Every structure is written in structure tokens, then in C-alpha cells.
Structure 1
Amino acid sequence: MPSNSTSSAFHTLADFQAHCRAHFSELSAQYQQSVRYLMDHPQEVPISSMRTIAGRAKVQPATLVRLAQHLGFDGWQSLRALFVDDFRGAHQPYASRAETVVRKRGSSRLLDDMVQAQHQNLETLRVEALEGLANAAEMLGDAQNVHVAGFRACFPVAFSFHYLYRLFRKSVHLVRGDAGALEMELRAFDRQDAVLAISFAPYSQEVLRVVEAARAAGCRVVALTDSSVSPLALQADCTVLFSVDSPSFFPSITAGVAAVEALVEQLLAREGKGAVKALEAAEGQLHSMGAYVPARRR
């Protein structure tokens, strides 16, 4: 396969894929193995590191760099940009996705497809998020105050984190923006604090304002998002990725909820006995205040 002088020969991912299909037999065995994985798993490239992609393709990271240069790119990041651009442009309006669901009404596959998609999202989280979660736990655990923000579909994920973490730590605050008071809440950010910002494509304007305010205040920023090149991730000190793939009309937040549950678990383990005592006290208070229905005596 002849090398191109610049990456401009490929304007889209489709151009790249067509070129690879046409010249696949001309590639070396290692390049073929790399291209096969890139062609078969295009959705993984925008959200995974080069080392991760290489490991899954069973080649060395340097092989991906040499492949990109062989194809005329400056390096791996230039090749990856094609996948990122395609990923960003692949978002379908919810109404279009809903039409697909309606066409499948009555199908026994609806539940199976949903469960399989969620299983894959969780498996991707298990494989990809270990290092990111550890780094996030360190940043959040060391902060004086922790602020968490997630709007619209991401609000349940943010609320879950806030509710669970606050059971053993009081200095956790949920950014809500109720009644147009978002700016008032952003004034509380301090350079000793950390912010957990949650969003997936299409990204909410509010969460970007939170991230920008956090950077201006000198806070550490942890992004829980769907792409390493999302507007949140590009400004974050630490990124935890989760997949939102779903056969339904709306992106799935299942893996996002799992991510914050795992993050809170790590924060509890990190705090140790002090967190256990705080949790015990909170649980006792909730029961004494009548938060739960008393258990029946046998």
C-alpha cells in the first residue's frame, strides 16, 4: 500500500475504511492485524488509549504509530482523529432512533437487545475504567469540598454519587442550578475543591459552564463522560469513560451509574474506619428520624 504524503487523502473515516479494504492484501501481517481491529471496532478508537487498542489488537503500540505513518498520517493521533470526527457526527436525533424502536414493536428481541447492550457497556467499563477510577478517587478524596454536576439525563448519575458519598462525607455538594441560580452555586468553588462533571453527547451547556468555572477557580476536575475528546475530558485533570450504547431511542446511563457506585466504593475504602463510623452514624440518624419503614417483628 503506497504511503500518502499527507493525511488529507482521507477526509472521512469511510474514505480510510474503503482504502484499507482495497489495499488490505498489500499490508504486512502486523498491519493487517491492526487494521482488522480498527475496522471491526471503530467505536472503541475514540474512547480508548493507543495502548489499550494495541493490546486488544494483539500488536505493539509502536505498530499503530508506524501504521499511521505508513498511511500518510503524522502519527497515531492524526489517524485517531478520523474516528473521533466520525464518532461525533454519528449522534442520531432521539426521534430518528425512536422510529427504529417503533418499527420493532412486539419483537421478542427488544429486551434481549437491551440487556446485551447494557452487559457490553458494563464490560467496557470494567476493562477501561480501573486506572481512571483510582485517579478520580485520589483527587476527590484529597479535596476540601467535592462538587458534582450532571444535568438532564446525567442528573440521576450525579444524584447517585452525591447521595452515596454524602452518607459518610458531609462536604459533598450537588450542583443543581435550580431557579436559574447556577451562577450562585459556582461562586462556592475554591482552589482546594474538586469537581466531578458528568455528561455525554450531546453535551449540556450547563455542565461546560461548571467545568469552566471550576478551572477558573483552580479546582481539580474529574470528567465522567463518553469520550476522551469530549469537551469535559479536554479540560479535565482526570477522565473516567463510560459507554452509553443502547438499542433504544435514548443513550444508556447504566454504566455511568455503575461507575459512580464503584467510585464511591473506592472512596469509602480509601477513607477506612473513619468513613465506616460516619456511615454508621448517618444510618442511625436516618432510622431515628423515620426515614425508613420499620421492619416488622416476626
Structure 2
Amino acid sequence: MSTSTTPSGQKTAPDNLEALTARIQRDFADMTPQFQVGARHLLDFPLDVPVASMRKIAAQAGVQPATLLRLAKLLGYAGWPELKAVFVRSMQQNPKRYADRARELLHDKNLHHAVGRIVAVQADNIRLNETSNAENLPLTVKMLSKAQQVYVAGFRASHAPAFLFQYQYRLFRPSVTLLRGDAGTLEMEWRAFTKNDAVVIIGFAPYSNEALQVARAARRAGSRVLAICDSAVAPIALEADCVLLFATETPSFFPSSAAASALVELLIEQLLAKAGKQAITRIEAAEDQLHQTGAYL
């Protein structure tokens, strides 16, 4: 259901993001310039809407908060909370099954243009890393830098960015551990969590049960939790002290993790800057050891 009509002929508000986008596209030319600015920002940065206040979004868009409130009412909503709820529900929706998307691709007559489309979407995903995390990134760096031990978890498709995080962070910080859960030992690994530690969990929809178990174990232990995920309302995000968001949009059949890896690299860069000269010394020692042991050709 997208837009319906009441007995009086008045159109109701769109109840999903697709319908809302269609409504804005249809009415955009007739909107005032300020409404156009606000509406464009909502559609360009949908990940911001569920996690930021109306005042902050208005500042980012360059309009007054009252403009967003009036825009919400223009679109048929009682107010800002009702409009915001559309974006929250959109983030909560499960993605299409991989097989269904793969089946669509096989019938796509423009499949020979896939390379260009994928590159364009991936570039957009990576650009969103900055706008989606500008506020939380410094808080995350501070939280991880203060932790006594940092544990990292990512399962199935999320294992790659989790491994990347652990591999790069350990180059200048020894107290970083990747949770693996080999042979069903995940429960044994999270026993080590303490209130002085931080647990980093990476994941995207469809969400891993193991990731949620780790998040809840960290909460029970009093550890600080960082969720690096695709939604502010992802199960692991709801358990987290801090959340960093990445987009998984792709024309392909499987959610993209390119932005997740880029976000990990951005976070590591910030952690390195925070660590200072001591980090440089440790990286030099790690490189020397890799060369001396023959790990590098």
C-alpha cells in the first residue's frame, strides 16, 4: 500500500519509503524552494533520518526545523515523528533473498552495463560513510582508545571487514582479539569480556544470530559495544553504546560490504592518529618482523 484516499477525497500520507519518494518526486516541482531543499536532503540522506533530531537534519539541509515540520504536514503526516517513522521502517525491512535477486539479474537485459552501475553505487555507498558517521566517529575513537582490550566479531559475510579491522588495528595495538567461534567455542571466547573492554560487532541484514549473542554477552559483562552495521535499528545497534553506519546498496544479488571495509579503514586511520607516535613505533616493529620472518617476499 502506498497512498490511499479518504472518503472526503483527501490523500493520506505514504506509509513506506518507496511511496514517499514517489510522492516527493511527483509534487517536487510545485513545492516552495525551501521545501525542495528539505525534501531533497531527506531522499539523499535517508540513513540520517532515523538517528538524528529534526533540528540537526534541518541544519544539515540548510533550512529551519519549522520547514521540515511543515513539509511533513504537506506530505500528509501529523508531524515529524510520523514522517521519521517511514524511514525507520524502511531500515527495518528485510532485504530480498539472494536467490530472488540473482534470478532478477539473469533476466536483466542491461546486464552488460552492470560494471558501470556497480561502480557508481559503490562510490555512493562509500561517500555516505562520512555523512552518516560525522558525529559518532570521534566518540567511537575515544571509546576504543580507552578500552583495556578490544574484541572484534563479524560472522559469515561480515567476517571480512571484521578480520580487516583486527588485522590493521593489531599492527599498532596488541590488545585486539578477533572472535571466531571455531568448533562452537564462541561462548568460551566471550567469557573473557570485562567492564574495561570494548566489543566491536560488524553486521548487515539478514542479521547473524551469533552477532546478537556477542552483543548481549558484552552487555552482561559491562563491556562497551560498538556496532558497525547497515541500520540504526539493527539488532546489534539496539544493544550498542555507539553505532557507525554503512550502506549495502548494490545492483548485484548480494548486499555490498565495500562501504563496510572502507568505514573500517577510516576508523583505523582515526585510531592511529589518536595513538600517536607510539603507534608508528609499533607499526615499524611489526613490518620489520614480517620481513625478517619471511612473511613478505
Aligned match for 1:280, one of 278, 284, 296: 284
Aligned to 2:96: 92
Aligned to 1:244: 248
Aligned to 1:256: 260
Residue 154 of structure 1: how far off its partner (Å): 0.5
Write the deviation string for residues 69-104 of structure 1: whole angstroms up to 9, x where unpaired.
67453x533321122213333611111111122223
- Matching residue's letter, 2:15: T
The whole-number CA distance in structure 2 between the counterparts of 1:250 and 1:17 is 24
Aligned match for 1:223, one of 227, 241, 251: 227
Q: Secondary structure at the match of 1:108?
A: helix
The whole-number CA distance in structure 2 between the counterparts of 1:228 and 1:60 is 25
Residue 143 of structure 1: how far off its partner (Å): 0.2
Q: Secondary structure at the match of 2:153?
A: strand
Aligned to 2:239: 235
Residue 118 of structure 1: how far off its partner (Å): 0.8
Stretches of structure 1 that go unaligned for 5 or more consecutive residues are: 294-298
Stretches of structure 2 that go unaligned for 5 or more consecutive residues are: 1-5, 7-11
Aligned match for 1:110, one of 76, 93, 114: 114
The whole-number CA distance in structure 2 between the counterparts of 1:206 and 1:217 is 16
- Matching residue's letter, 1:250: F
1:167–1:27: structure 2 CA closer, same or farther, 3 Å change rule? closer
The whole-number CA distance in structure 2 between the counterparts of 1:289 and 1:165 is 20
Task: State the TM-score, normalized to the length of structure 1.
Answer: 0.84
Write the deviation string for residues 191-247 of structure 1: whole angstroms up to 9, x where unpaired.
000011111111111111111111111111111111122222222111111111111
Q: Secondary structure at the match of 1:81?
A: helix
The yes-or-no answer on 1:208 pairing with 2:212 is yes
1:82–1:271: structure 2 CA closer, same or farther, 3 Å change rule? same
Residue 28 of structure 1: how far off its partner (Å): 6.0
Aligned to 1:77: 81
1:201–1:107: structure 2 CA closer, same or farther, 3 Å change rule? closer
Task: State the TM-score, normalized to the length of structure 2.
Answer: 0.84
Aligned match for 2:195, one of 169, 191, 213: 191
- Matching residue's letter, 1:222: L
What RMSD in Å do the two structures reach over aligned CA positions? 2.8
Write the deviation string for residues 100-139 of structure 1: whole angstroms up to 9, x where unpaired.
2222378431110111011111111133323322221111
Aligned to 2:3: none
1:149–1:158: 8 Å Cα contact kept in structure 2? Answer: yes
1:46–1:229: 8 Å Cα contact kept in structure 2? Answer: no
Identity %: 46
The whole-number CA distance in structure 2 between the counterparts of 1:66 and 1:221 is 37
1:23–1:250: structure 2 CA closer, same or farther, 3 Å change rule? closer
1:158–1:20: structure 2 CA closer, same or farther, 3 Å change rule? closer
Q: Secondary structure at the match of 1:232?
A: helix
1:118–1:20: structure 2 CA closer, same or farther, 3 Å change rule? closer
Aligned to 2:145: 141
- Matching residue's letter, 2:175: S
Residue 20 of structure 1: how far off its partner (Å): 6.5
